[in-house]
Amino acid sequence: MELARVAGLSAGMLSKIENGITSPSLATLQALSRALNVPVTALFRKFEERQDALVTRAGEGVLVERRLSRPGTSFRQVRAPSAEGLFLEPFIVEIHGLDGDVPPAQHEGLELMHVLSGKLRFRHGDRVYDLAPGDTLVYGADQAHGPAAIVDAPVRLLLVTVGTTAP
């Protein structure tokens, strides 16, 4: 009754939808999603095809040339190519050196960086972080960010970009 009231539907209509007697219009689905404070797609999740876990074996990731790549840096995407629709993009990043004056990256979303080997100084906004193997940094990618210096090369790290658009 409460959901019907908040969504602006009659209790009878909501009952018919719940019992599969009638199919809701897009406007009704939108009203329900607003009332439940979830995206419309959440109303269809149980009907989506089940997706198995995705495995990317060592050396099978796709080497990616990113718009914000720096010379001496490589990005290897470590998700399976069939994982469309994910909200995150994991990479293994290798930085052998910082050649040239490349401006810092800045884009939507969040990033998680976990240092696997090597040491670096990483700039985020107006702060600089000294990072070593085992260190993890999570930051808003909307602020200028990028390596400030490589202290012990090569640096290898796991970088997970989370957001709605790829950087």
- CA-nearest of 155, 95, 110 to 131 is 155
Of the CATH numbers 2.40.50.840, 2.102.10.10, 2.60.120.10, 3.40.47.10, which one belongs to the domain with range 62-162?
A: 2.60.120.10
Percent of residues, the chain, with pLDDT higher than 90: 26
Above 60 in pLDDT, residue 1?
A: yes
- Report, as an integer, the average pLDDT of 2-21: 86
pLDDT in tens, 87-97: 677 888 999 88
- Report, as an integer, the average pLDDT of 96-123: 87
Cα–Cα distance measured from residue 47 to residue 80, given in angstroms and rounded to the nearest whole number: 23
- For 68, the 3-state DSSP assignment is coil
Bridge pairing between strands 88-95 and 110-124: unpaired
Above 50 in pLDDT, residue 80?
A: no
Please name the helix (run of DSSP H) or strand (run of DSSP E) that holds residue 17, with its range, or none. helix 11-18
Quick one: pLDDT at residue 25? 87
Q: How many CB atoms lie within 10 A of CB 32?
A: 22
- CA-nearest of 101, 154, 145, 100 to 126 is 145
CATH topology for 2-47 is: 434 Repressor (Amino-terminal Domain) (1.10.260)
Find where tokens 């990317």 sit.
Answer: 56
What's the token pair of residue 27? Answer: 């406007």
Quick one: pLDDT at residue 115? 93
Terminal CA-to-CA distance of the chain, rounded, Å?
A: 44
Characterise 72 by phi-psi region: left (phi > 0), alpha (psi -120 to 50), beta (else).
left
Q: Where are the domains of the chain?
A: 2-47, 62-162
